[in-house]
């Protein structure tokens, strides 16, 4: 490990999170049966190996599912508010380890330290939400049509919940699922991205400490490591009633079919192609801040990153110039250094996708407003640092219709009324996040109406990225249709049962049917 990263406190963070340094063997994490091949985790920050992890073989996986299934039998019988108390303790541990975990997220994934801390804060927030929820898992009571009968519904846990997560939110997405699933009485098996396995190990260590301190079975929180093959063990496994999968649309289509083939449930959080509409009534200053943060934050590697800016022709040049000026001020470099705005892409493959997209937009007829490029030099040796770029393009270009997970912003011009901008916005296969910048009430309300945005998230005078945990998060169309986190997203982690009790001495049949014997 290089001196400069040690200076940012990485060594101490790894020690606090019980992750072994690279020369001291593999970190497996507590409650982990992995004995398979060694996977090395490289940091995109400096290209160094951080540590290694053993992957989960088929035989290991069988052990994990056995332990999880067994743990479910006791965990489901613990009253939900007591399960909430365990989640509360987990949040306390996260508060203690927030800086260390935030640093690991930053170093292993490449997002800024501030964003790493923000991600851990999201974990804490969802736990707090889940604690309250543990006293509110209520169903309805209905009036029975039969005299002397009581009818109500109740929610029971599903069993083992499988969580497959993406590299870009290496810890928060797991907690969105796990915190809710745990209070609901489910147990979890988590397969983190093979690009960020140490974040998985660190979270697993923290959770295991809490379960152990409360004499609870280890299988309530299980970790499996590996690539898509381990994900496949899970998606094909009839012992896992719900698979929550976050990642690319390509992955989601495969997982959805495998889970559906066994009539399991899936919760899919897939790719986005998020747009901000900028109308003549927009506040330009707010627009620029929202668009720049949305496009370059996390180096354009958020599912909610702003990829398209749909600007009215009357203010097109003004917005364009303001954007180009703002991009001149961006500082790209080590994300652990708080003066930098933009860190690296996750790996060299991602850099290649970025390069190809820039090439393609020009081939299709686009014009670069802010040129891209791969950076090199001191501190940029990983080869993963790229310049945020802006291209003027047309809505129908193939590359504009496609999600490139990189800091590339396409600016598109519209004329006429806001309905034309909405049509451009909706005319993509993805449906995750969307926004309109306007002070015009009619435009804002039309955008939010049934004739407006077709996305799962629609914001007014806020950019596309950065959602709060209190709302249900997810998107439509090829984004997969799943909802997780707040609101009533908990219901997917439970099965609903309708109960009718007859407290009379007769057996009246429903619908007035007579069946005299
Ligand atoms: P990815 O699809 O390459 O991998 C995601 C996860 O799926 C990994 O753990 C991977 O091992 C696993 N996987 C891949 N193929 C699989 C298969 N056939 N069966 C089972 N598991 C499989 O995605 P990524 O590059 O890690 O993440 C970026 C993508 O994730 C982007 O498209 C982004 O928009 C999306 N994303 C969406 C959300 C959301 O909430 N909608 C959130 C974060 C990321």
User: Which residues belong to the active site?
Assistant: 269, 303
Regarding the beta carbon of 481 and ligand 1, being less than 6 Å apart is answered no
With 0-12 / 13-18 / 19 or more C-beta atoms within 10 angstroms meaning exposed / middle / buried, residue 348 is middle
- Asked whether 13 and 100 are in contact (CB, 8 A), the reply is yes
Q: Kindly tell me if the per-residue pLDDT of 31 is higher than 80.
A: no
Q: Kindly tell me if the per-residue pLDDT of 399 is higher than 50.
A: yes
Q: Kindly tell me if the per-residue pLDDT of 2 is higher than 80.
A: no
Gap between the Cα atoms of 476 and 430, Å rounded: 7
Which pLDDT tens digit goes with each residue over 102-156?
999 999 999 999 999 999 999 999 999 999 999 999 999 999 999 999 999 999 9
How many other CB atoms are found less than 10 A from the CB of residue 148? 12
378-to-58, 334, 513 alpha-carbon distances in Å: 43, 10, 83
Tell me what percent of the residues of the chain surpass a pLDDT of 70: 96
Which pLDDT tens digit goes with each residue over 277-293?
999 999 999 999 999 99
Residue with tokens 């997780």, as numbered in its chain:
484
Tokens of 124: 């804490």
The residues, ordered by sequence, that sit 6+ positions from 115 with a Cβ below 8 Å of its Cβ are 105, 106, 297, 298, 335
Gap between the Cα atoms of 270 and 430, Å rounded: 9
Q: Kindly tell me if the per-residue pLDDT of 515 is higher than 90.
A: no
Our CA dihedral for 362, 363, 366, 371, rounded to 10 degrees, sits at: 0
CA angle, 165 as apex, 164 and 169 as ends, to 5°? 165
Regarding the beta carbon of 272 and ligand 1, being less than 6 Å apart is answered yes
CA 248 to ligand 1 center in whole angstroms:
4
Q: Kindly tell me if the per-residue pLDDT of 6 is higher than 60.
A: no
Regarding the beta carbon of 240 and ligand 1, being less than 6 Å apart is answered no
How far does CA 327 lie from the centroid of its chain? 27
What residue owns the CA closest to ligand 1's atom 22?
228
Residue with tokens 């009215």, as numbered in its chain:
312
Regarding the beta carbon of 233 and ligand 1, being less than 6 Å apart is answered no
Regarding the beta carbon of 171 and ligand 1, being less than 6 Å apart is answered no
Q: Mean pLDDT in the chain?
A: 95
pLDDT band at 1 (very low <50, low <70, confident <90, very high): very low
Torsion angles phi and psi, residue 52, rounded to 5 = -125, 165
Task: Output b/e per residue, 448-463; b: 16+ Cβ within 10 A.
Answer: eeeebbbbbbbbeebb
Regarding the beta carbon of 170 and ligand 1, being less than 6 Å apart is answered no
pTM of this prediction?
A: 0.97
CA 166 to ligand 1 center in whole angstroms:
4
CA 314 to ligand 1 center in whole angstroms:
39
Put residue 216 in one of left, alpha, beta given phi > 0 → left and psi -120 to 50 → alpha.
beta
Tokens of 184: 């609901």
CA 510 to ligand 1 center in whole angstroms:
48
The per-residue pLDDT for 226 is 95
The residues, ordered by sequence, that sit 6+ positions from 356 with a Cβ below 8 Å of its Cβ are none
Which pairs from 247-251 meet CB under 8 Å and 24+ separation? 247/164, 247/165, 247/166, 247/193, 248/166, 248/403, 249/403, 249/429, 249/430, 249/478, 249/479, 249/480, 251/164
Gap between the Cα atoms of 286 and 438, Å rounded: 10
Regarding the beta carbon of 304 and ligand 1, being less than 6 Å apart is answered no
CA 46 to ligand 1 center in whole angstroms:
24
With 0-12 / 13-18 / 19 or more C-beta atoms within 10 angstroms meaning exposed / middle / buried, residue 147 is exposed
The per-residue pLDDT for 36 is 86
List the one residue out of 390, 354, 402 whose CA is nearest residue 374. Answer: 354
Domains, the chain, ordered by start:
7-270+480-496 (3.40.605.10), 274-472 (3.40.309.10)
Pocket test for ligand 1, best of 248, 255, 480 (most atoms within 8 A of CB): 248
Q: Kindly tell me if the per-residue pLDDT of 373 is higher than 80.
A: yes
DSSP state of 1: -
pLDDT band at 3 (very low <50, low <70, confident <90, very high): very low
What residue owns the CA closest to ligand 1's atom 26?
166
* DSSP characters over 311-362: EETTTHHHHHHHHHHHHHT--BS-TTSTT-SB---SSHHHHHHHHHHHHHHH
Residue with tokens 């435009």, as numbered in its chain:
443
Which pLDDT tens digit goes with each residue over 186-220?
999 999 999 999 999 999 999 999 999 999 998 99
The per-residue pLDDT for 20 is 79
């Amino acid at each position: 490990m290089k001196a400069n990263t040690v200076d940012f406190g990485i060594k101490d963070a790894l020690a606090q999170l019980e992750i072994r340094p690279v020369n001291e063997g593999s970190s497996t994490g507590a409650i982990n049966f992995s004995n398979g091949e060694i996977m090395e985790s490289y940091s995109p920050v400096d290209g160094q190996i951080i540590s290694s992890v053993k992957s989960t073989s088929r035989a290991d996986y069988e052990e994990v599912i056995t332990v999880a299934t067994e743990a479910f039998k006791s965990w489901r019988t613990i009253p939900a508010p007591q399960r909430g108390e365990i989640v509360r303790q987990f949040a306390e541990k996260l508060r203690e380890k927030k800086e260390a975990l935030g640093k690991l997220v930053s170093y292993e994934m490449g997002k800024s330290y501030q964003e790493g801390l923000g991600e851990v804060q999201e974990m804490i927030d969802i736990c707090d939400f889940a604690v309250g929820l543990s006293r509110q898992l209520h169903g309805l009571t209905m009036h029975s049509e039969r005299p002397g009968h009581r009818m109500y519904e109740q929610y029971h846990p599903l069993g083992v919940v499988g969580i497959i997560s993406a590299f870009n939110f290496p810890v928060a997405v797991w907690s969105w699922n796990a915190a809710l699933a745990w209070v609901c009485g489910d147990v979890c098996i988590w397969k983190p991205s093979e690009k960020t396995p140490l974040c998985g190990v660190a979270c697993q260590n923290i959770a295991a400490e809490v379960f152990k301190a409360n004499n609870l079975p280890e299988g309530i929180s299980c970790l499996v490591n590996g690539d898509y093959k381990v994900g496949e063990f899970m998606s094909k496994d009839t012992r896992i009633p719900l698979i929550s999968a976050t990642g690319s649309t390509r992955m989601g289509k495969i997982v959805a079919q495998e889970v559906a083939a066994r009539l399991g449930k899936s919760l899919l959080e897939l790719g986005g192609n998020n747009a901000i509409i900028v109308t003549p009534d927009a506040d330009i200053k707010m627009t620029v801040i929202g668009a720049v943060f949305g496009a370059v934050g996390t180096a354009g590697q958020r599912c909610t990153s702003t990829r398209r800016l749909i600007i009215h022709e009357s203010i097109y040049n003004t917005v364009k110039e303001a954007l180009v000026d703002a991009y001149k001020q961006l500082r790209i470099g080590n994300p652990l250094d708080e003066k930098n705005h933009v860190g690296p892409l996750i790996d060299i493959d991602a850099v290649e996708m970025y390069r190809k997209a820039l090439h393609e937009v020009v081939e299709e007829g686009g014009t670069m407003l802010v040129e891209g490029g791969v950076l090199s030099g001191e501190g940029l040796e990983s080869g993963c640092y790229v310049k945020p770029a802006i291209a003027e393009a047309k809505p129908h270009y193939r590359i504009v219709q496609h999600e490139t997970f990189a800091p590339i912003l396409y600016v598109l011009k519209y004329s006429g009324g806001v309905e034309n901008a909405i049509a451009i916005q909706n005319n993509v296969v993805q449906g995750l996040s969307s926004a309109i910048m306007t002070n015009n009430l009619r435009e804002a309300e039309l955008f939010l109406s049934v004739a407006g945005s077709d996305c799962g998230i629609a914001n007014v005078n806020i950019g596309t990225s950065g959602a709060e945990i209190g709302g249900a998060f997810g998107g439509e169309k090829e984004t997969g249709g799943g909802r997780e986190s707040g609101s009533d997203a908990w219901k997917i982690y439970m099965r609903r049962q309708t109960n009718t009790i007859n407290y009379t001495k007769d057996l009246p049949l429903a619908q007035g049917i007579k069946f005299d014997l």
